[in-house]
Amino acid sequence: MTDSTDAVELRPWRREDGPEPRVWTWPAADPPGMRVRLGGVWRRGVVESRMEWPDGSPSPHRVPRPRDAHQRLSAEAGTMRASWSGTIQFGLVALPIRLYAATREHAVRLHEIHIPDGSRVEHRRFCQAENKEISYEETGRGFAMPDGRMVPLTEEDLSHLPLPTRKTVDVLGFVPGQDIDPISYGKPYYAGPNGPGAERPYALLVEALARTGYVAVAKVALRSRERLALLRPRHGLLVLQTLLWADELRDPGDLAPSAPVTDRELQLAEVLIRELTGIDVEAVHDEYAHALEQLVTAKVSGGELAAEPAESAPVVDLMAALEESVRAAARTRENR
């Protein structure tokens, strides 16, 4: 690894800075190491690219070391509860891990109510055969046969299923990350090393995947069913992303339109895309949740809700709409 002890301030590019800097990258096998300032603290980092600003000042892009990521996940582990623990198995290497949910819901929750009096509605367990309400302790699970018969399955029955993936992430092979269609993506989990002895093979797998651009395709049993999954690196961590099975994806049929487009329309569309390039995803908010909160506040206080925004007029002239969109996007960019 190329090494440098120069203290360089980490400075991201923003639109108000003016012209974009030139970006230089190093070979993945020989990234430089240097000290960078991150969060007000000088730290040792591995740099994957370097920006040169119009004024000549450089700015490196730091890639967190795997151990840094371990420490961040460990720090959050006090508030994050592991949902699964087991072993990643690839070749003769066994890597103990724990899985943590990587996402959380923030939606405003609505409840079912009885309209005449506004009281909450309860859903209770009811036995069809005995025509009576039953307790949770009396419920179990069963498989419905085509003829309507129900085959009871106990927890002991399910625990004895011959599934090698019950406690193992069984790596089937490795493929380039771009070969996995995002339409197959399911739920993501952070995969953290389980125990000090797991850190070295964990760091090895993270680094190897990051350098090659490959992801691991695996099978794992989660929540009482076997799932296809991939393991990919993200900021020095492993992410286990569940995947849909091939037969779970529906054929779109003839949904794709066959209408032709002109070269001029295509050129304008490309210009519009370039004008609208660049968005801070973290600055985008859930407008529905905000509007719902305003509605509840208005209902409680007896106030009036703001007027509903007018709907956009349907597109009649595609060329005119594209040209006006390009002009509007250019004006927005100039005013930033």
316, 317, 322, 323: CA torsion to nearest 10: -130
216, 182, 98, 62: CA torsion to nearest 10: 80
Tell me how far apart the alpha carbons of residues 228 and 213 are, in angstroms, rounded to a whole number.
Answer: 20
- Over its length of 336 residues, how does the chain's per-residue pLDDT go in tens digits? 344 444 343 445 455 555 555 555 544 445 555 554 444 444 445 455 555 555 555 555 444 444 444 555 555 555 678 888 999 988 888 899 999 999 987 777 888 999 999 899 988 899 988 999 998 889 999 999 999 899 998 888 877 777 767 788 999 999 999 999 999 999 999 999 998 889 999 999 999 999 999 999 999 988 778 999 999 999 999 999 999 999 999 999 988 888 888 898 888 888 888 888 887 888 888 888 888 888 888 888 877 766 666 666 666 677 788 788 878 877 777 776
Neighbouring-strand partners of residue 89: 94, 170
Which CATH number is 70-104+165-248 given?
2.40.290.10
pTM of the predicted structure, to 2 decimals: 0.65
Q: Which candidate, 137, 146, 145, 140, places its Cα nearest to that of 158? A: 140
Specify whether the CB–CB gap between 205 and 192 falls below 8 A. no
Q: What value, to the nearest 5°, has the Cα angle with vertex 112 and ends 109 and 116?
A: 135
Kindly give, in sequence order, each residue whose CB lies less than 8 Å from that of residue 237, ignoring residues fewer than 6 positions away: 66, 69, 70, 73, 190, 191, 192, 206
**Domain definitions of the chain by residue range:** 3-63, 70-104+165-248, 263-335
Tell me how far apart the alpha carbons of residues 203 and 193 are, in angstroms, rounded to a whole number.
Answer: 9
